[in-house]
Amino acid sequence: MKAVVCRVLEGPDALVIEERPSPVPGPGQVLVRVRAASVNFPDYLMTKGLYQLKPDLPFTPGMEAAGDILALGPDVTGWAVGDRVVATMRFGAFAEEVLASAEGLMAIPPGFDYATGCAFPAAYSTAWVALRRRDYVKPGETLLVHGAAGGVGLAAVELGKLFGARVIATIGDDAKADVVRRYGADVVINYRNGFREAVLETTGGRGADVIYDPVGGDVFDESTRCIAWGGRILIIGFAGGRIADLKTNMALIKGFSVVGVRAGEFARRDPPAGRENMEALLRLCAEGRINPHVSHRLPLDKAADAMKVLATRQVIGKCVLEL
């Protein structure tokens, strides 16, 4: 079987496609024939050695795969060969076949193809943990979502609207505005022109109650100047490249909180709560209330290109490798 392999930490251009033996599932594992694998920003960072998780070299990137079960480990129950499943992992998904924990599998939601199936778990679980588990956004509050056209951003727009918030979305490209509005944004702002004044104007000077920030850097700095008294800034990531420094006098003056969000770590530390999160999201999928958006579909041998279109912010929602 073929796999994308990172042998040196020199970014996507150094990735290679290699032939590898088909893996054999052990206890608690299943072998999945991958039909689609979602590309996430941490995959890109791992190829450069810039993510907090640093797999030993060589490694295969990829956190989410969807496909069909080929074989079961000796003690696996509840699944059958041929089942259509989504598997999540910390790395390894960019391959024609992957080993996955049977306990962490989920059935592909009804009406989803393989691409939307694998595009679903990381983005929506991040938004769910941020808005439900870490700091609930309340009906009627104003939610400001940065990087709203990206995977985790668009999921937050959609869930925030379902939770009854008024959603302000920031984007870096006006061409993405229609999709973001379709997913529930009440107001869309191009942050490249600054967003502080626009947020204050649309909230009557009050500011945003909850700010969902996967960008960091200058965006975080400006967010502290348009947050409401008692507001919450949810730290999702640092796609902008710079990790911001918080001037604590700003938090004191405005009484706001800064909350870190790591959905994967949340589930690892509290597996029952992690399963509850996913069950709730799967119910919303079954009801047709959330729908992952996939703007780019590329073949496995274009994994480097997929990472680059993601890193250069050409993607709306998710980019997926199809096998």
The residue written with tokens 């507001």 in the block is 231
The CATH class for the domain spanning 2-120+292-322 reads alpha beta
Q: Are 189 and 211 in contact (CB under 8 A)?
A: no
What's the pLDDT at 243?
Answer: 87
- CA gap 154, 160 in Å, rounded: 10
pLDDT of residue 104 exceeding 90: no
Thinking of the domain 123-264, which architecture would CATH place it in?
Alpha-Beta Complex (3.90)
Would strands 106-107 and 84-88 be described as parallel, antiparallel, or unpaired?
antiparallel
Average pLDDT, rounded, for the chain: 94
Q: Choose among 209, 148, 143, 134: nearest CA to 180.
A: 148
Structural domain boundaries in the chain:
2-120+292-322, 123-264
Q: Choose among 187, 188, 223: nearest CA to 208.
A: 223
Q: Are 118 and 84 in contact (CB under 8 A)?
A: no
**3-state secondary structure (DSSP) of residue 19:** strand
| pLDDT tens readout for residues 291-313 | 999 999 999 999 999 999 999 98
- CA gap 222, 206 in Å, rounded: 15
| pLDDT tens readout for residues 140-194 | 999 999 999 999 999 999 999 999 999 999 999 999 999 999 999 999 999 888 9
- CA gap 167, 156 in Å, rounded: 9
Side-chain half-sphere of 80: how many Cα atoms within 13 Å?
1
pLDDT of residue 241 exceeding 80: no
Side-chain half-sphere of 113: how many Cα atoms within 13 Å?
10
